[in-house]
């Protein structure tokens, strides 16, 4: 990572550049995993959703927004092989917001199954929702243990969330043909059981929030090895190919480079038992970086999503 200049803006360096700079200065410590691992196996994670950045209120119901805010944080606990225990919810809302809408938001949070144990509410000029999730884990594999010879696995099909977002952008919120994809975007899966099962065998484990391309790159960098992913083995959710074609994209771009699928990505020794639903998509080798290969073994370049850019 090159040294930053005084006039750099967030748009210049991107989210990953900012995090690398803070880490280089010693202003954050041990932040490479999905959640902070504290003494006693306590695992803590926090994610914020901002109106106009992560969601638009004409694309998502208050109930789904609450569910999603809880689910994306519970996903980081799943990626830590943790048992969730509590959520802390901080809300920023315009004063004109209906109380009934806020109640619906909390009903959505409750649907995710982890109790809200505290938080804060403040006035804001647009909706802002930050959830902290706490749990306990016996063992957090983290991102740094992948070794040559390991298999790369995912817990389920990818691309539905990205395709759902494209449907929303195209004004298809109420189109029955797009319903499953829109739902996938607004209601990420909870992979807690898979996370605990993988936690017992995985050499690296994380959730796919920024897209397989970016997130596989995180494991490669932290582990000091090379991840070779075969596109033909990547499970793509139903309906993704059609939406991709309609948007002038490939299904691989939606499945591997769009993000927000919240399936788990793991590396496991070849003899390890895999939980149901897990699919092998590639292997770890000596070297660096993550690449996607087509059927002929040629590299296909796919880029992930990065905030601020």
Q: Which is nearer to Mg ion, 203 or 214 (CB)?
A: 214
Which residue's C-beta sits nearest to Mg ion?
Answer: 34
Considering only CA atoms, which of 240, 239, 241, 228 is closest in space to residue 280? 228
Task: Locate all alpha helices (DSSP H) within 59-171, ordered by sequence.
Answer: 62-78, 99-111, 160-169
Q: How far is the CB of 263 from Mg ion (least distance, A)?
A: 11
User: Minimum distance from CB of 34 to Mg ion (Å)?
Assistant: 4
Q: How far is the CB of 22 from Mg ion (least distance, A)?
A: 17
- Cβ atoms of 249 and 172 closer than 8 Å: no
Number of neighbours of residue 204 by Cβ within 10 angstroms: 28
Nearer Cβ to Mg ion, position 34 or 150? 34
Piece of 18-26, 33-41, 121-129, 132-140 that binds Mg ion (CB under 5 A) = 33-41
Instruction: Give whichever of 207 and 260 is closer to Mg ion, judged by the CB atom.
Output: 207
As measured in angstroms, the least distance from the Cβ of 268 to Mg ion is 18
261 binds Mg ion (CB under 5 A): no
Q: Cα separation of 104 and 114, whole Å?
A: 16
SS3 state of residue 274: coil
b/e map 94-127, b = 16+ CB within 10 Å: eeebeeeebebbbebbbebebebeeeeeeeeeeb
Task: Name the DSSP letter for residue 230.
Answer: E
Any idea which residue has 């660096």 for tokens?
288
**Contact pattern from residue 271 through residue 300 relative to Mg ion, giving x for each residue in contact according to CB under 5 A and a dash for the rest:** ------------------------------
Residues in contact with Mg ion, total (CB under 5 A)?
4
Q: Which is nearer to Mg ion, 161 or 239 (CB)?
A: 161
Min dist. Cβ of residue 212 to Mg ion (A): 13
Residues 194-213 that bind Mg ion (CB under 5 A): 207, 209
CB of 85: closest distance to Mg ion in angstroms? Answer: 18
φ/ψ (deg, to 5) at 212: -55, -40
Tokens linked to 195:
């996370």
Give me the least distance between CB of 76 and Mg ion, in Å please: 4
Q: What is the CA radius of gyration of the chain?
A: 19
H and E: helices and strands count for the chain: 9, 12
Distance CA 226, CA 264 (A): 18
Whole-number minimum distance, CB 5 to Mg ion, in Å? 29
Give the chain's length: 309
Question: Which of residues 63 and 196 has its CB atom nearest to Mg ion in the complex?
Answer: 196
Residue selected from 33, 34, 128, 260 as contacting Mg ion according to rule CB under 5 A: 34
CB atoms within 10 A of CB 302: 21
Contact pattern for Mg ion over residues 63 through 82, marking x by CB under 5 A: -------------x------
**Residue placing its CB nearer to Mg ion in the complex, 78 or 93:** 78
Closer to Mg ion by Cβ: residue 91 or 205: 205
Do the bridges between strand 128-137 and strand 42-50 make them parallel or antiparallel, or are there none, so unpaired? antiparallel
Q: Which residues make up the interface to Mg ion (CB under 5 A)?
A: 34, 76, 207, 209
């Amino acid at each position: 990572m090159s040294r930053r200049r005084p006039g750099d803006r967030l748009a210049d360096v991107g989210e990953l550049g900012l995090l690398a700079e803070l880490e280089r200065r010693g202003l954050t410590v041990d932040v490479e995993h999905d959640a902070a691992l504290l003494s006693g196996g306590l695992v803590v994670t926090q994610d914020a959703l901002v109106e106009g950045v992560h969601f638009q209120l004409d694309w998502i119901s208050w109930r789904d927004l609450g569910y999603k805010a809880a689910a994306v944080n519970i996903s980081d606990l799943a990626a830590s092989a943790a048992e969730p225990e509590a959520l802390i919810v901080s809300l920023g809302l315009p004063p004109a917001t209906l109380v009934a809408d806020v109640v619906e938001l909390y009903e959505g949070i409750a649907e995710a199954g982890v109790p809200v144990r505290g938080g804060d509410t403040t006035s804001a000029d647009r909706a802002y929702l930050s959830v902290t999730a706490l749990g306990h884990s016996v063992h957090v594999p983290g991102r740094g243990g992948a070794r040559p010879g390991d298999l790369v696995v995912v817990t389920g099909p990818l691309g539905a969330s990205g395709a759902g977002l494209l449907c929303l952008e195209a004004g298809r919120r109420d189109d029955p043909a797009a319903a499953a994809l829109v739902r996938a975007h607004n209601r990420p899966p909870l992979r807690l059981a898979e996370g605990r099962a993988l936690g017992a065998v995985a050499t690296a484990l994380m959730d796919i929030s920024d897209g397989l391309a970016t997130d596989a790159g995180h494991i490669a960098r932290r582990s000091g090895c090379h991840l070779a992913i075969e596109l033909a083995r990547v499970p793509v959710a139903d309906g993704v190919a059609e939406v991709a074609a309609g948007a002038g994209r490939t299904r691989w771009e939606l499945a591997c480079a769009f993000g927000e699928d919240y399936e788990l990505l793991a590396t496991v020794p070849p003899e390890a038992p895999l939980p149901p639903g897990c699919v092998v998509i590639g292997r770890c080798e000596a070297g660096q970086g993550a690449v996607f290969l087509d059927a002929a073994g040629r590299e296909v370049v796919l880029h992930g999503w990065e905030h601020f850019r």
